[in-house]
Structure 1
Amino acid sequence: MTTRPLPLPILRPLLLSLLCALALSVGGCTANGADRPTVVVTTNILGDITRNIVGEEADVTVLMRAGADPHSFGVSAPQAASLERADLVVHNGLGLEENVLRHVEAAKETGVATLAVGDAVDPIAYASGESADEPDPHFWTDPERVRRAVGLIADQVVEHVRGVDKKAVEKNASAYGAKVAELSSWMRTTFDEIPVRNRQLVTNHHVFGYLAQRFGFRIVGAVIPSGTTLASPSASDLKALATAVEKAGVRAVFADSSQPDRLAQVLKRESRIDVDVVPLFSESLTEKGKGAATYLEMMRANTGSISMGLGTE
């Protein structure tokens, strides 16, 4: 018996199904034949938060590598192109990603949905230094604002990322938000053990304003008197800060673990009191096993370091 070929109207759907089945095995196709939905996130801190919200509902691409500086990291041409193919772009905003913002704006102009998280969580301004009165982008040092961010990101994922299960995203967001709430409670309990007179922060640059506001710390100053690591202190800046450190009796200077602590060490030599230089994970997550691979791990590590550096009752 002669076998007759299938007509094209029947053959085309069969071929498409076979191609999609092959693509699904390597994560490259959805059931309807389109590419997997994608959320592109600029910073690795927001990337970790977003992955916890999205779960398996879409691919999450993070542009900033572990240990990088969010003020100075750049993107490759393929990464820039990925922004314009995304269903949603999540970025920090408030001027943090100085070398990436133009690519985010280009994606927005092509019709890609974007969310500037920092702009939407009641931002505060820097209180002093070269950046005084400018918006402070480091909102993630306040876990309560991160809880708010979780809900905002979830809403945008449901609205703009095609094919996601709304209930699954909301369930993920609720579960992760509960973990952030637990973190916030634990941080307050831990910080409450630090005597009020010791709750004074000196950092490599102005990065902990939100944490200070939430948990009752006073910002004495920063080695780099700016909200960005791209600035540099003058000799007079260091002298003025050394004087403030001596007057306040500050016990420790906290330097970002992703940045050399040379300037903090210089400040330590400039002041005439015994002050420790303590590393913190303030602006970037680390690779797995390096102490701060997730947002929750980073904040717990920093809370412990601050508590030990400033002393408890």
Structure 2
Amino acid sequence: MPATPARRGAVLAGSAPIALLMALLIALLTAACGSPADGAASASTAGAAAKTLTVVATTTQVADFARQIGGDRAKVTQILKPNIDPHDYEPSPADIQAVADADVVVKNGVGLERWLDAVISSSGFSGTVVDTSRGVSVRKGDGSKEEAAGDPHIWHNPLNAKIMSTGIEKAYAAADPADASYFAANLAAYGTKLDALDADIARKIGALPAERRKLVTNHDAFGYYVDRYHLTFVGSIIPSFDTSAELSGRQISELVAKIKATGVTAIFSESSLPPKTAEAIGREAGVKVEAGEDSLYGDTLGPKGSAGATYLQMEEHNTDTIVTALQGE
């Protein structure tokens, strides 16, 4: 007996759940038959992409370099905060724990972090320590025991910053070979920016009349900058690389006389140091004093959002501040 239209509709309606079930079974079987190697490769790729080096960097400058080279493959803990003097820093228990957990520790070197060896020893750290001063031509120290290794302010020459960044890149590649090409690409890109910075500073300083390229700073932190860009260093208010030293009354009088005799047009304080002595000397010598939060960044980068928040910004800002003041504008 032929099926009536009503019966045909009932049969079709009854078969719909069966068809749907068959479709689901086919889909599940297809997924189950996928290549195990493909799944393993996907998991492996995901694992590789998720790998992140744990890095501790001491100073604000080397922490910036460490982030530039590491990108999203390095989590960088910065020990020294902006506007904190690196010469006499006292490490905290949190610093020791951070070092204990690190894969790589990055330091400036040249004796700047006199406290770091004790931190590493206390933490039991057994990873790689990157001394970014390796390969840098270090200036002589001031003769003191603290500066026996030389002038530690190596970052104030962008070409030294390239050497420092290269040391970081090598350590990252050794610690994480799978991402070596990523770190190398970051180094190349950052090196291009450092070369451009160097050329820009040379152009701006070179545009100053030779008789105006004379520098008096709050402390002797800019020797590498002075050497690189052919400035004349007249003197510093703090007669040392170490910011804890002080001028005597006689030394202050001698510096004032030297400023007047050499025709210095400005004195430069630093954002991280009290400007009181610089301002007193400036008044006595009759010259302008660049002081305050937007003066020179010497031993430390500035906080986020400031004119010296990154190394590139810091050196550009320092140069613009120096050139504007020495031009007498």
> How far apart, CA to CA, are the structure 1 residues paired with 2:147 and 2:114?
18
Pairing partner for 1:113 from 109, 116, 128: 128
> How far apart, CA to CA, are the structure 2 residues paired with 1:197 and 1:129?
32
* CA-CA distance at 1:163 after TM superposition: 6.0
Mapped contact 1:124–1:135 kept (Cα < 8 A): yes
Cα distance change, pair 119–247 in 1 and its aligned pair in 2 (3 A): farther
Pairing partner for 1:267 from 278, 281, 287: 281
Number of matched pairs: 281
> How far apart, CA to CA, are the structure 2 residues paired with 1:258 and 1:266?
18
- Runs of 5+ unmatched residues, structure 2: 1-42
Matched, 1:218 2:244: no
Q: For residues 253-275 of structure 1, what are the alpha-carbon distances to aligned partners after superposition, in whole Å with 9 as ceiling and x for unaligned? A: 1111111101101211332x333
Pairing partner for 2:290 from 277, 286, 304: 277
> How far apart, CA to CA, are the structure 2 residues paired with 1:156 and 1:50?
10
Q: Secondary structure at the match of 1:120?
A: coil
Q: For residues 141-169 of structure 1, what are the alpha-carbon distances to aligned partners after superposition, in whole Å with 9 as ceiling and x for unaligned? A: 1011111212121011111x246500000
Matched, 1:186 2:200: yes
Mapped contact 1:258–1:281 kept (Cα < 8 A): yes
Aligned to 2:90: 74
Mapped contact 1:129–1:225 kept (Cα < 8 A): no
RMSD: 2.6
- Runs of 5+ unmatched residues, structure 1: 1-20, 22-29
Mapped contact 1:52–1:172 kept (Cα < 8 A): yes
Q: For residues 74-112 of structure 1, what are the alpha-carbon distances to aligned partners after superposition, in whole Å with 9 as ceiling and x for unaligned? A: 3320211221321111111112224444314656x7432
> How far apart, CA to CA, are the structure 1 residues paired with 2:120 and 2:260?
44
Letter in 1 for 2:182: A
Pairing partner for 1:205 from 216, 219, 223: 219
Matched, 1:302 2:315: no
Mapped contact 1:151–1:173 kept (Cα < 8 A): yes
> How far apart, CA to CA, are the structure 2 residues paired with 1:176 and 1:193?
26
Aligned to 1:251: 265
Mapped contact 2:107–2:130 kept (Cα < 8 A): yes
Aligned to 2:309: 293
Aligned to 2:13: none
> How far apart, CA to CA, are the structure 2 residues paired with 1:191 and 1:127?
26
**TM-score, with length taken from structure 2:** 0.78
Letter in 2 for 1:81: Q
Aligned to 2:111: 95
* CA-CA distance at 1:310 after TM superposition: 0.8
Letter in 1 for 2:312: L
Letter in 1 for 2:164: A
Tell me which structure has the larger Cα radius of gyration: 2
Aligned to 2:10: none
Q: Secondary structure at the match of 1:56?
A: helix
* CA-CA distance at 1:211 after TM superposition: 0.5
> How far apart, CA to CA, are the structure 2 residues paired with 1:191 and 1:312?
14
Q: For residues 3-32 of structure 1, what are the alpha-carbon distances to aligned partners after superposition, in whole Å with 9 as ceiling and x for unaligned? A: xxxxxxxxxxxxxxxxxx9xxxxxxxx949
Cα distance change, pair 130–237 in 1 and its aligned pair in 2 (3 A): farther
Q: For residues 224-283 of structure 1, what are the alpha-carbon distances to aligned partners after superposition, in whole Å with 9 as ceiling and x for unaligned? A: 100011212211221121121111111111111111101101211332x33333421122
Aligned to 1:11: none
Matched, 1:158 2:173: yes
> How far apart, CA to CA, are the structure 2 residues paired with 1:111 and 1:285?
29
* CA-CA distance at 1:188 after TM superposition: 0.6
* CA-CA distance at 1:58 after TM superposition: 2.1
Letter in 2 for 1:138: H
Matched, 1:140 2:139: no
Give me the identity figure in percent. 30
* CA-CA distance at 1:119 after TM superposition: 4.3
Q: Which structure: greater helix fraction?
A: 2
Mapped contact 2:102–2:125 kept (Cα < 8 A): no
